[in-house]
Amino acid sequence: MRLQKYLSSAGICSRRKGEEHIKAGHVSVNGVVVTQLGSKVDIKKDRVEFQKRPVELVENLLYVLLNKPAGIVSSSSQKGEKTVLDVVNIKERLYPLGRLDKDSTGLLLLTNDGKIHHRLLHPSFDHEKEYYVTVEKPIPNGALLSMEKGLPMMGTKTRPAKITRISPKSFKIVLREGKNRQIRRMVRKIGNKVKRLKRIRIVNIKLGDLKEGSWRFLTKKEERDLLKIVHCLGH
Judging by beta carbons within 10 Å of its beta carbon (0-12, 13-18, 19+), is residue 79 exposed, middle or buried?
Answer: exposed
Question: 42, 46, 86, 101: which one is catalytic?
Answer: 101
Q: Is 46 a catalytic residue?
A: no
Q: Which of 227, 201, 206 is nearest to 119 (CA)?
A: 227
53 Cβ contact list (under 8 Å, min separation 6): none
- Between CA 24 and CA 3 the distance in angstroms is 14
Which residues face 153 on adjacent strands?
Answer: 156
Catalytically active residues, by annotation:
101
